Amino acid sequence: MFPRHRRLVTALIVTLTATACTAGSGGSATESGPKAEAPQTIEVWHGWSAPHEVQAFDDAVAGFRKLHPNITVKLVKGQDDTKILNAIRSGNPPDVVSSFSTNNVGQFCSSGALQDLTPFLKKDKVDTSVFPQTVQTYTQYKGVRCTLPLLADDYALYTNKALMKGSQPPKTISELTTLAKKLTVRNPDGSIKVAGFLPSVTYYEHVGEHVAPSFGVNWLNGQGRANFATDPGFTKYLQWQKSLIDWYGYDNIKKFVHSMGQEFEASNPFEKGKVAMAIDGEWRVKFLQEEAPTVQYDTTPVPVNDDRQNAYGGGFVTGTIIGIPRGAKHPQASWEFVKYLTTNTDALVTFANGLGNVPSTIPALSSPKLTLPPQFRTFLDVFKNPNSTTIPSTVNGGDFVVKFDAFVQDQWEPGKVPNLQQGLQSLDDKVNSALKLAGG
């Protein structure tokens, strides 16, 4: 898994007819198609496209090729969820797919687009306790485990040492707010020259999905319905966010955002010394190492609201997922590939080192072969922290997150919401209507 830019929270509102999750005709999924020992070629789709990403994936697969010389693995880069679902619907899917969006697991599993891997796991007696609890949560939906984790992403606070001017990284939201104001440098016209911290959801990884957990939010209630108007954490988050936006000036933030470089290029404003503190994924360590090696920085857990200081150390966790599509022509060989890539410690460590991502099994997390910089330790700790959270799965993917960020960006930040409670209630109604329409 790699940069969250590939894993943007998008709701794939695609209707898929759930059919038997077997490949070919007759027999169970674990027995259909050619035997794993037979000579065959499997096609594997993944989303990575940058040269170092593609190479990292190929390096991770090298061990599988040696172990299974009879299976030729054809890797196809740059594939997203829309392409994957279109291929499945057309009846001509690849044998294995990986996705950057855990938000779509509910849709993948409930529709049968990806096969239930439980029979394969049971047949080979794979102990799923090798996967931390958080990743076990986001790889299944209502008891159907149609994916397995393939590396993980989590989020922490990056601080530019030079811009911090001796200040310690904040642990609470109030400390973050104070530092954001202290470290901000304005131009003579009041516009932003250097931002201490940008609270807007339009700033790369500062979307609600990554920041709101600091306020202890529960996205859905016990009935699986939207919780925005009921959970006080959302109100606290939004009121804090808006107060800091107003301090900067909404127009100033818009101007600064429009002037920013690309998130995954050397022009990234944190790498250029234009932002003192930023929430970002673990991959930024690798980018800084390659694109801005002279920048001195720290990584620490994302600050938490002042009434949740005992939760400090956790963070938002997600990851790349991998599975076998409905209609795959070589399910047994595909399973051998999925099992190897998700449980083999050397493969995961090789992949993690190449991409700068978090290994997704407990043994790989403690492997002495991990060769990532010291700043990466924060992400390993966040990943294992019991206070870390992820996004719940729904039948229509991340639609509720998409609607929330749209509400924040288009209505809340510009000051178009006269009554926050009413606005959140209206948002709840829209999300719940969409869930109902999707069969949730």
Report how far residue 109's alpha carbon sits from residue 321's, in angstroms, rounded to the nearest whole number: 12
What pLDDT, on a 0 to 100 scale, did the predictor assign at position 220?
Answer: 96
- Residue spans of alpha helices (H) in 103-199: 105-111, 118-123, 133-138, 161-164, 173-183
Residues 76-104 have pLDDT tens digits of: 999 999 999 999 999 999 999 999 988 88
Closest CA to 106 of 339, 397, 313: 397
pLDDT on residue 309: 97
Tokens of residue 419, six digits: 């009554």
User: What is the distance between the alpha carbons of residues 274 and 95, in angstroms, rounded to a whole number?
Assistant: 44
- Residue 262: pLDDT band with limits 50, 70, 90: confident
Q: Is it true that 4-152+319-366 and 153-311 share their CATH fold?
A: yes
**Partners of 185 in beta bridges:** 194
153-311 under CATH 3.40.50.720, yes or no:
no
Which pLDDT belongs to residue 264?
Answer: 86
Both tokens of 440, joined, read 């949730």
Give the H/E segment covering residue 40.
strand 40-45
3-state SS class at 177? helix
Query: Which pLDDT value is given to residue 149?
Result: 96
Pick the CATH number of 4-152+319-366 from 3.40.718.10, 3.30.300.160, 3.40.190.10, 2.40.50.140: 3.40.190.10
Q: How far apart are CA 286 and CA 297, in angstroms?
A: 13
Q: Would you list the domain boundaries of the chain?
A: 4-152+319-366, 153-311
Amino acid letter, residue 307: D
Average model confidence (pLDDT) for the chain? 92
pLDDT (0 to 100) of residue 28: 65
pLDDT of residue 27: 46
Residue 265's pLDDT is what?
87
Q: E-assigned strands of 63-189?
A: 71-76, 96-99, 148-149, 153-160, 185-186
List, for residues 386-423, the tens digit of each pLDDT value: 999 999 989 888 899 999 999 999 999 999 999 999 99
Whether 296 and 302 have beta carbons less than 8 Å apart is answered as no
pLDDT in tens, 213-257: 999 999 999 999 999 999 999 999 999 999 999 999 999 999 999
Tokens 């009413």 -> residue: 422
Whole-angstrom distance, CA of residue 81 vs CA of residue 11: 10
pLDDT tens digits, 111-168 = 999 999 999 999 999 999 999 888 898 999 999 999 999 999 999 999 999 999 999 9
Long-range contacts of 413-419 (CB under 8 A, 24+ apart): 413/200, 413/201, 413/202, 413/241, 413/242, 413/245, 413/250, 413/253, 414/250, 415/242, 415/250
**In this predicted model, what pLDDT tens digit does every residue of 1-59 receive, in sequence order?**
444 433 444 444 444 433 333 333 334 667 788 999 999 999 999 999 888 889 999 99
pLDDT at site 438:
84
pLDDT tens per residue across span 317-349 = 999 999 999 999 999 999 999 999 999 999 999
Q: What is the reported pTM?
A: 0.88
